[in-house]
Structure formats: C-alpha cells, structure tokens
C-alpha cells in the first residue's frame, strides 16, 4: 500500500532503509547507530540488515565522525552521519564549517560533498543540558551548507532521501519531540522540492511561518484563532538554507501580516533574516511590522522551565493579536 500511517521516527527509519537499498555507496555512521539503533532508534534494525560495513558504529568523537565522513565522501561514498544530540555537534563544528562546507568551492567544483548530518534537535522532551538546543542559525549562516527540518512524517520520509541524493552537504535537523507524531506517508508520491516552503493551512488575515517542531504549535494556534474568527495561514518553511522567500512572499502578499516562530533565540535568528527580507520585498503590502516569537538570549533552561522558554500556543496567539492590532 502506497499510503501508510507512520511516526516521524519510523518514516526516517524507512527512508534510511530505502536509501541503503537504492545506493550501495550510502553509509550510516554515528555513535550507537548499530546494534542499539540510535538513542532514538531511528537506525533500528539497519545494521542487522545491511551489516557493519554499511551501518557503522563509531568512536565517541564528533569531529572524527564528520572528518572521516568527509574522507569517505572524497572516496565516492555518501555518508549519512548521526550526531546524537544538538549540543554535541559543536566538537564537529570546525570540520563542518572549515572543511565540509568549503570543499566544493575551494576545489573550483571538482569535489562534491554528499554528506548528510542528521541532528535530533530542539526541546520539549525534559532532557538535561546540551540535549535541547536549536543551533540551526549557526549552520544556515555558513555558505556551502544546506539546512532543512521536516515537521511531519511525509516530509521526514522524503526530505531525508532528497538530502541524501543532494551533492551538497545537508544539515538535517530532526524535531525530536515530534518523533512519535504520526502522519500519512505516500511512498509513491512525487514529493515537494527539498527547499520549497509549503502552505500547511490556508488563511487570509495573517501568515505564521515556522519549521520543524514549531509547525505543530502554529497549526494549533491557527485553529484557536479560527475559533475567534481570525483566518491564519501557516507556512512550513521546511528549509532554512536556502529559504523559499518567493513562497513566503506570496503568502504575505495575500495576508499582509507575518509572524515568524522558532524555538531558537530570536536575536540574530532565522526569523531576523526573514523579517528583514520580507520587509524589503513586501514593504507596500505589509499592514504591520514583521514580528518574531522564539527563545530568549539565555542558555537553554533546565527542563522544569522549558515550557516557559519555548514558544507555546499563548505566546504565538499574543503575537498574532499584536500584529492584527496595527
């Protein structure tokens, strides 16, 4: 059956399985990805079926994982690397930024770097320090990298395969608190382009733009606003580098208002770039300044405070009200 109801976690697992079956050059690498199947079980059963040469348990060394993946890509492989948690990507940040991102450019296009770095990211699971961060801006800012995040099972399935097929390095942020959300996946569908924004809910009064874990919050906010007679459109950006400004602009020109929502700190975040560019593109369409809702300029708080830190329904609706009040 083409359409299945899957959790995001299972959709990712199926997607990796498909990639391993399709291309013998695809490799899975990371800490605990083999016998354990990853701490979130995203690689569950893959080593059993594809062997230790394809699904590789690595030493606990993130720079080593990414650095050797670069070498494997130079040899013609397509490594899909798992970083166990968002806060652990920083030991590999040097390899990602100074090496992976620049290899194609500095070789004048002679070398391709088809490396995918999967990172379970963002908060909402009550974890300890360094297990709930949203560092997407730090990667989106780097030329040479592509940065995406699915918000639902279908995108999880398709976007991961598209990322693996890409000849550019892709940072693939998985919203870990949504791993167990179920959705329909049509494995025979023709998927959206990897970097295209998608209207997740149509509306006429205001556009809410989000990606990854915040799409669900925005959909809930739009449903709540509808009960108050407000028609809110939700755009799932899906990609933070590049950002589909054309798609977003089309929405904002319809609704004339924009609120951007993400978990990462607002200051110099993805929302800042969107606010600047949409203001430039849609200056004469906008009825209100572009507003942003997100994390604070503070370390990610202890788990008992994360409900206050993370944008929830009320903070999003408050921003909707502020925008509509102009």
Instruction: List residues near other proteins by CB under 8 A.
Output: 53, 58-59, 61, 63-64, 66-77, 91, 94-95, 98-99, 102, 104-113, 143-144, 146, 166-168, 195, 241-246
**Is 285 an annotated catalytic residue?**
no
Catalytic residue, from 131, 141, 195, 297: name it.
131
Is the link from the previous residue into 7 a cis peptide, with omega within 30 of 0? no
Contact 215, 236 (CB under 8 A): yes
CB of 111 to other proteins, least distance (A): 7
Dihedral sign, Cα of residue 124, residue 140, residue 299, residue 29: positive
- The tokens describing 296, both together, are 């604070």
CB of 8 to other proteins, least distance (A): 25
Instruction: Using alpha carbons, select from 139, 272, 147, 307 the residue that is nearest to residue 212.
Output: 147
Q: 67 vs 312, which CB is nearer to other proteins?
A: 67
CB of 301 to other proteins, least distance (A): 29
CB of 47 to other proteins, least distance (A): 15
Instruction: Using alpha carbons, select from 103, 222, 220, 215 the residue that is nearest to residue 168.
Output: 103
Q: 24 vs 299, which CB is nearer to other proteins?
A: 24
Dihedral sign, Cα of residue 66, residue 147, residue 154, residue 300: positive
- The pairing of strands 232-236 and 206-210 is parallel
CB of 253 to other proteins, least distance (A): 18
- The pairing of strands 182-186 and 3-7 is antiparallel
Instruction: Using alpha carbons, select from 113, 25, 32, 33 the residue that is nearest to residue 12.
Output: 33
- The tokens describing 76, both together, are 């013609």
Active-site positions read 131
């Amino acid at each position: 059956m083409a359409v299945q109801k899957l959790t995001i976690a299972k959709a990712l697992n199926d997607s990796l399985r498909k990639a391993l079956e399709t291309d013998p050059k695809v490799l899975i690498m990371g800490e605990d990805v083999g016998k354990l199947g990853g701490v979130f079980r995203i690689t569950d059963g893959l080593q059993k079926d594809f062997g230790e040469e394809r699904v590789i348990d690595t030493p606990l060394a993130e720079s080593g994982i990414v650095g050797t993946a670069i070498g494997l890509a130079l040899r013609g492989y397509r490594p899909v690397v798992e970083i166990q948690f968002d806060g652990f990507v920083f030991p590999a940040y040097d390899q990602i930024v100074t090496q992976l991102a620049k290899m194609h450019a500095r070789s004048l296009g002679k070398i391709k770097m088809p490396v995918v770095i999967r990172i379970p990211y963002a908060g909402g699971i009550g974890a300890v320090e360094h297990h709930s961060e949203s560092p997407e801006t730090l990667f989106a800012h780097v030329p040479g990298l592509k940065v995406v995040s699915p918000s639902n099972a279908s995108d999880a399935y398709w976007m991961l395969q598209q990322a693996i097929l890409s000849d550019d390095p892709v940072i693939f942020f998985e919203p870990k608190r949504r791993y167990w959300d179920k959705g329909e996946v049509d494995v025979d569908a023709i998927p959206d382009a990897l970097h295209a924004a998608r209207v997740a809910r149509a509306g006429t009064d205001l556009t809410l733009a989000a990606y990854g874990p915040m799409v669900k919050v925005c959909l809930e906010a739009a449903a709540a606003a509808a009960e108050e007679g407000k028609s809110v459109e939700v755009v799932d950006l899906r990609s933070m580098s590049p950002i589909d400004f054309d798609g977003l602009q089309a929405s904002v020109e319809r609704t004339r208002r924009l609120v951007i929502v993400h978990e990462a700190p607002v200051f110099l975040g993805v929302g800042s770039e969107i606010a600047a560019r949409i203001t430039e593109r849609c200056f004469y369409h906008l009825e209100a300044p572009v507003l942003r809702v997100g994390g604070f300029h503070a370390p990610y708080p202890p788990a008992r405070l994360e409900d206050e830190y993370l944008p929830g329904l009320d903070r999003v609706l408050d921003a909707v009200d502020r925008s509509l009040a102009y």
